[in-house]
Amino acid sequence: MIREILLWVPTSPDAAPERVLESAVALCQHLGAGLTAELLQLNSDPASWPVAVGSFPLDFPQLMNELVVKSEANASAAAASLTRLGAEYSVALDLRRGLTTPYASSAPLVDLARLHDLVVLPVPESDAVGNSWVQSVLFGSGRPVVLLPSPGKRLQWLDRIVVAWDWSREAARALTAALPLIALAKTVHVVTVFGEKHIDTACTQADLEKYLAAHHVKYSLERAELEGNSIGNALMEHAESADADLLVMGAYGHSRLQEFILGGATREMLRDPPLPVFLCH
């Protein structure tokens, strides 16, 4: 059951697009869940800014002041949009505004995520810092994550869902965690990609069908062949051909010296998904 959803709203260097905010609110409406929006803007206190080392091509204080002003404007615009969308969609909104610094730790967001059922994150636009935050929440919170791309398909409906299935622990956790969303779908495509790795299981297709039927999932079992493609691309192409509203898949990876070593398909989904993606580690 999903009752509380957390949305992280970046304000620097760019604003979260309106379509991403609306997708998050729409998801809450579909699930009958409340939304906590974590909206942090850059602190204007120079003492909180990083120290400029060596020669800097621009006046550093001026640059930071410009970033602070832009972050504050982005935060105010996002707060106004979320307040309006919450009222339009009849979604209970807990709007939390605060201050942050460049390169701030993601630990407070991870802690807050653990007290929510689901976390919604915008896909970072080629931002190494943003990607590290996404990975920290995905692998450290113990909660499933929905990634919302800025371009690509917005999340308006949950009519068609594609579930990536390879009999692994990660796939099993993703399938189970996504059941509240899957229950709303008219069609669920459970797809297995063949051609790269050996799929080892003692179970049969009948066991999978029994599990899906027990949860009243309206499913079709499908397979996709790599044929020189990567698993991530094969899944995305399958989801697009099915006109899916959401792709559900396990997140593969582990941490080493506080850096996350990602599986290939997970890395591709974090980079540029064409549709919303539900990930669970």
- Name the helix (H) or strand (E) containing 278: strand 277-280
List pLDDT tens digits, range 148-204. Answer: 988 878 899 999 999 999 898 999 999 999 999 999 999 999 999 887 666 777 788
Q: Check whether 125 has a pLDDT greater than 70.
A: no
Of 99-103, 129-133, 168-172, minimum mean pLDDT range: 129-133
- pLDDT band at 64, cuts 50/70/90? confident
Gap between the Cα atoms of 277 and 40, Å rounded? 24
Q: Hey, what amino acid is at 103?
A: Y
List pLDDT tens digits, range 268-280. Answer: 666 678 899 999 9
Tell me what pLDDT residue 267 has.
62
- pLDDT band at 50, cuts 50/70/90? confident
Residues 6+ apart with CB under 8 A from 66: none
Q: Check whether 218 has a pLDDT greater than 80.
A: yes
The DSSP string of 174-228 is HHHHTHHHHTT-SEEEEEEEESSS----S--HHHHHHHHHHTT--EEEEEEE-TT
Q: How many CB atoms lie within 10 A of CB 82?
A: 24
14: buried, middle or exposed (CB in 10 Å: 19+, 13-18, 0-12)? middle
Fold match flag (4-50+60-148 vs 160-280): yes
CA angle 253, 197, 166 (to 5 degrees): 70
The DSSP string of 119-170 is EEEEPPSS-HHHHHHHHHHHHHSSS-EEEE-SSS------SEEEEE--SSHH
Fold classification of 4-50+60-148 (topology level):
Rossmann fold (3.40.50)
Of 22-36, 73-87, 96-110, minimum mean pLDDT range: 96-110
- pLDDT band at 261, cuts 50/70/90? very low
Domain ranges of the chain: 4-50+60-148, 160-280
Homologous superfamily (CATH) of 160-280 is HUPs (3.40.50.620)
Q: Please report where in the chains the tokens 């059951």 appear, as a residue.
A: 1
pTM, two decimal places: 0.89
Mean pLDDT rounded to a whole number for the chain: 86
Average pLDDT of the segment spanning 109-122: 96
